[in-house]
A and B are shown apart, each in its own frame.
Chain A
Amino acid sequence: MTAPELLAELFPGGHAVRGEGGLLLGPARTGAGEVAVVGTHGGLEVGVEAALALAAELLRIVREHPGRPIVVLVDSRGQRMSRRDELLGLNGYLGHLAACVELARRRGHPLVAIVYGDAVSGGFLPLGFMADAIHAVEGANPWVMSPTAMSRVTKVPLERLRELADASPLLAPGLEPFVRLGAIEPAWTPPLAAALEAALARPPRPDRRAEEGLARGGRRLAAVVAARVAGGAPAAREPSGSGR
């Protein structure tokens, strides 16, 4: 699904989202009121400039529109890989972006992410993957590394890797395995505007992806191991929101 198609379906009431430089930024109208859109399109590989622009927009929203819901639209093939980005400390720019998302959360901005294209590593972690709820629409394609590159690095023949991926949601690219891991919700069915309104109406909750992964059978260990290390009564875990 292209960004203009997605925006039209999500916001039949209109929007003023701009799409320069691979970014999607701007306000939009929903049945539940104004929202702020922050995202990427065209599979943008996120480098230092894009990370800084996304962080700037989040800080602006926090400053100028307290509490306004933020809709994160994800289509990114990962971080930009270059010597210059590494020299400048791209990991630091992405860490800052993630902290800005956290700030918005702590100050009461609902955060709904929608994966509508590629969602990969450094392009997914600091923004879309930081949302309270991570949804998907048709065309969502989360992955970590191409099978050929994975085969080269792990020294496992491609054919064997494909067999393993067929048997495990840990290795197969695509939405379905990530749903089973508890990381992303199953794809919305149209009308998307109604699905978005329902998502915005749900109260934010602490990160329960590990527990979802257990319930869906894709990650049998994460929630159990985390609970053993965390100690205490797992059910007593509430949002920590000192700044909420």
Chain B
Amino acid sequence: MTALPPPVPVARSSYRESNARRRLAGLLDPGSLEDLLGPAERVTSPHLEPFGIPAAFDDGVVVAAGRLDGRAVLAASQEGGFMGGAVGEVHGAKLLGLLRRAERERPAAVLLLVDSGGVRLQEANAGLVAISEVMRGVLAARAAGVPVIALVGGGWGCFGGMGIVARCCDAIVMSEEGRLGLSGPDVIEATCGVEELDASDRGLVWRTYGGKHRYLLGEADRIVEDDVAAFRVAALELLDAPRPLTLEALAREHAHLAARLEAFGASADALDLWRAAGAAEPERLPMLDAATFRGAVEAARRGDR
């Protein structure tokens, strides 16, 4: 038996392993990234010093203007390496400012590269208020006709209030490695006990929060490989597919969410849910690459796009 030749390595830049700036630079047209309040401005959080935490010159988020296939976009990229991308007063205000700018400038889209555990506890109250302002800002930008697209594939995932923010957007792009939810596994375990959710059970955590499950449910609109270029392609596809904020569109979404609860409300685990959705051999799904997975769950997937 002849051994197969090793696969040809494809030039690929891991989205997950890249930092916030590299993700954003790779997503936008080359050389088009233009900081709106860059690290040189040194706008830092004054609220970390009492905790003995050194500040970051961008407070953990890059906000920028740029181009996507030649079209003007605005974008934010959260830096998971700084406080887990958590939202404090300055960080949140940068996101809010970007969305207000979008309302005024009407770019082709706002891209939110989310990598965040949610509210920054060292600035708890201001973080919560900021998340609320960002939710209002996302919905205001959408109402003004600017699509807002969330990209989730960083190591911290998209949790806490940022999980709600992402679902206030027009669309979500996820990688298999991306995780999306409200109360993260550690929070559930700490609050409800290890018998409710064992945060160290990686398979369980992945099945519950991971990109494949979110795509199958219809929570994520696209699932892509862990590759900056793949995220770029998906963002491009979604530029011209806004979800209108109309009664008809929200009634449709409502019916979709009601049907999910009806169909899967009794599922104890994602595997049961996938089986109930009609996915063949659900235990195989974790092993498939994104393209094969998309094909395998096409019929079982909920959601209209």
Contact = CB atoms under 8 A, between A and B. Distances in A.
Do A and B share a complex? yes
Interface of A: 48-49, 52, 55-56, 59, 62-63, 79, 81-96, 98-100, 102-103, 106-107, 121-122, 124-126, 129-130, 142-145, 149-150, 152-154, 156, 164, 168-172, 177-178, 181-183, 206-207, 209-210, 213, 219, 221-232, 237, 240-243
Contacts of A240: 103, 140, 143-144
A242 B141 CA distance: 10
B96 interface: yes
B189 to A, nearest CB: 10
B126 A223 contact: no
Nearest to B163: A91
Contacts of B180: 89, 91
A39 to B, nearest CB: 17
Contact of A243 (B90, B100, B143, B167): B143
Contacts of B258: 52
Contacts of A107: 247
Contact of A103 (B96, B126, B247): B247
Nearest to A122: B182
Interface in B90-132: 90, 92-94, 96-98, 100-101, 103-104, 119, 121-132
5 contacts: A48-B261, A98-B168, A99-B250, A169-B125, A240-B103
Q: Tell me what chain B mostly uses at the interface: helix, strand, loop, or mixed.
A: helix
B209 interface: yes
A152 B250 CA distance: 40
B188 A86 contact: yes
B250 A96 contact: yes
Given A89-B260, A168-B47, A181-B125, A226 B131 contact: no
A86 B209 contact: yes
Given A81-B192, A82-B192, A164-B50, 5 more contacts: A86-B197, A98-B168, A152-B190, A177-B125, A240-B143
B161 A125 contact: yes
* Size category of the binding interface on chain B: 35 or more
Nearest to B100: A230
B93 A87 contact: no
A242 B164 CA distance: 23
Nearest to A233: B104
A65 B160 CA distance: 33
B253 interface: yes
A96 B126 contact: no
Nearest to A107: B247
B55 interface: no
Contacts of A170: 47, 89, 123-126
B181 interface: yes
A39 B133 CA distance: 20
Nearest to A163: B50
A214 to B, nearest CB: 10
A86 B183 contact: yes
* 6 tightest Cβ-Cβ pairs between the two chains A and B: A95-B167, A229-B97, A91-B163, A226-B97, A225-B93, A230-B100
Interface of B: 36-37, 43, 46-47, 50-51, 63, 89-90, 92-94, 96-98, 100-101, 103-104, 119, 121-133, 135-137, 139-140, 143-145, 160-161, 163-168, 180-183, 187-188, 190-192, 196-197, 208-209, 213-214, 217, 219, 245-247, 250-251, 253-254, 257-258, 260-261, 264-265, 267-270, 273
Given A92-B167, A240-B103, A228 B257 contact: no
B279 to A, nearest CB: 15
Contacts of B145: 242
Contacts of A125: 128, 131-132, 135, 161, 164
Given A125-B131, A209-B133, A96 B253 contact: yes
A74 B175 CA distance: 36
Given A95-B168, A241-B143, A222 B125 contact: no
B147 to A, nearest CB: 14
A222 B121 contact: no
Contacts of B265: 48, 84, 88
Nearest to A177: B125
Contacts of A92: 167, 217, 219, 257
A183 B101 CA distance: 22
B261 to A, nearest CB: 6
Nearest to B94: A229
Contacts of A222: 89-90, 92-93, 96, 126, 129-130, 133
A145 B131 contact: no
A226 B127 contact: no
A153 B121 contact: yes
A82 B188 contact: yes
Given A89-B260, A103-B247, A95 B166 contact: yes
Contacts of B37: 225, 228-229
Nearest to A227: B97
